[in-house]
Chain A
Amino acid sequence: MALATEPTRDGVAPPMSADVVIRMEGVQKWYDQFQVLKDIDLEVHRGERIVICGPSGSGKSTLIRCINQLERHQKGRITVNGVELGPHHRQLDMVRREVGMVFQSFNLFPHLTVLENCMLAPMKVRGTTKAEAKATALRYLERVRIPEQAEKYPGQLSGGQQQRVAIARSLCMNPKVMLFDEPTSALDPEMVKEVLDTMIGLAEDGMTMLCVTHEMGFAKSVAHRVIFMDRGEIVEQNTPEEFFTAPKSERTRSFLGQILAH
């Protein structure tokens, strides 16, 4: 398995390497009688950036939450970075170390400082020394442009700052893939940009990203591929140009009509 990732120079063209980071095959999931994911097939290549959109309840969050098994799927196979997720904890641990996740509600640990938030997992999961963890944390806090907030508690920060800390916290684990679950939906409008800018920065560095978001501007400029989900199915996937200018399915057209209307 390749360890180093060549950053994509061209910001638009999808890297067509054979290096598949995430493979979902025939993934199905039910909540009791209700089927949330119907036969999902998806391959994500190293360095690829995918935006997943769709109406609420379409299963898009559930899909990315299955990748690190915050939700368990009942049928089908999910392979991440060569590890197939099964009933055993060992595989789950291996996958979760390599997959970072950013949540809509930030989910920073309120009893720890920003710096401690970033140091916890590297020290307790990877066994890094305190000094090393601190150096890494400060580097990533620098990168999300809030090193000066390191000693503060999450409650003292704005929503946008908290979300940037959450991104830094994930990056400290040096993940191969980043999952974003509506990272800007809980933010005040004036703070959306600072978070999107951080995500664009990550994209430019070649991070493999799966983003559930309604930020269509972000999708247009950053994504290699846009996936539209509805009622638990992947209805359509395409390059952003095709997706926004020539959507194939009626459901996609009506969805785009609704979210682009205002």
Chain B
Amino acid sequence: MIRAFGYNEFLFLLSAVQWTLMLSVIAFIGGGIVGLVVALGRTSDVKPLRWLSTGYIQIFQGTPLLMQLFLVFFGATVIGIDMSPWVAAAVGLTLNTSAFLGEIWRGCIQSVPRGQWEAASSLGLRYPGLMRYVILPQAVKVAVPPTVGYLVQVIKGTSLAAIIGFVELTRAGQIVNNATFQPFLVFGIVAAIYFALCWPLSLLSQRLEARYAAPSR
């Protein structure tokens, strides 16, 4: 039976936004934590750590996010773990996000002048203190605009979780469309909602970039 697209359908789409946002937040936090480890590995003096993190980044940047989600979701079944779409989507997006954030942050860490490392080490600071008190605070300033910008990619990336059956905004759109057969209207609205989520972040990223590009203090 074909339903008309009405207020209820619209509310259904809107309520699915919470899952999109939730998944984005999890991917962003998880990806941020793993990404920091990846970035530190990439900038490490220890060669094996550099190779490992470089390989990690290349694998996740060199394959489609959809394949990564498939591999996590179906791979878990193969090794006997019953993974819900929720967990699979969160794990897949976390891994993917961490690779991209790791690479962005590597650049930010390396943008801190060599002299800062030298001054801190010559004062006797060892790696943990040197990173925490001298290098990372300076790298963070550089990292904020591209990181906020990348958040837009994370939000859009969550739409792929629809394919493994996780009901977020895109999947909700599919469900509504299956009932209403008004694809242009339904997916038009879905796209508009994504835009409403992402556009402010893009603007924020641009503004932050302009602010940090200004001569400091």
Contacts and interface: CB of A to CB of B under 8 A. Distances in A.
Interface of A: 68, 70, 89, 93, 96-97, 99-101, 103, 105, 107-111, 120-121, 124-126, 153, 155-156, 166, 169-170, 173
Contacts of A70: 118, 121-122
17 contacts: A70-B118, A93-B126, A96-B121, A96-B124, A100-B122, A100-B123, A101-B119, A101-B122, A107-B115, A107-B116, A107-B119, A109-B120, A121-B125, A125-B125, A153-B217, A155-B216, A173-B124
A183 to B, nearest CB: 13
A68 B124 CA distance: 10
Nearest to B138: A111
A89 B121 CA distance: 12
**Which interface residue of A68, A70, A111, A153 has the most chain B CB atoms within 10 A?**
A111
A173 B121 CA distance: 13
Interface in B106-121: 113, 115-116, 118-121
Contact of B137 (A111, A126, A156, A166): A111
B116 A124 contact: no
Contacts of A103: 115, 118-119
Contact of B134 (A101, A109, A173): A109
Contacts of B115: 103, 105, 107
B133 interface: yes
B216 A99 contact: no
A126 B138 CA distance: 23
B211 interface: no
A124 B133 contact: yes
Contacts of A100: 122-123
A96 B127 CA distance: 13
A156 B216 CA distance: 10
A107 B118 contact: yes
A111 B141 contact: yes
Nearest to B122: A101
Contacts of B120: 109
Contacts of B119: 101, 103, 107-109, 166
Contacts of A101: 118-119, 122
A174 to B, nearest CB: 11
A149 to B, nearest CB: 14
Sort chain B's interface into a size bin. Answer: 20 to 34
B126 A89 contact: yes
Nearest to B127: A89
A225 B116 CA distance: 31
The 10 closest A-B pairs by CB, nearest first: A107-B119, A121-B123, A107-B115, A125-B124, A101-B122, A96-B124, A97-B124, A124-B129, A111-B137, A153-B217
Contacts of B116: 107, 109
B138 A124 contact: no
A25 B123 CA distance: 25
Contacts of B216: 110, 153, 155
Given A103-B115, A105-B115, A107-B116, A68 B129 contact: no
A155 B122 contact: no
A89 B122 CA distance: 13
Given A96-B124, A109-B138, A111-B137, 18 more contacts: A68-B122, A96-B121, A96-B123, A101-B118, A103-B118, A107-B113, A107-B115, A120-B125, A121-B124, A121-B125, A124-B133, A125-B123, A125-B124, A125-B129, A156-B217, A170-B123, A173-B123, A173-B124
**Which interface residue of A70, A103, A124 has the most chain B CB atoms within 10 A?**
A124
Contacts of A68: 121-122
A121 B122 CA distance: 10
B124 A93 contact: yes
Contact of B138 (A89, A110, A170): A110
A125 B124 CA distance: 6
Contacts of B124: 93, 96-97, 121, 125-126, 173
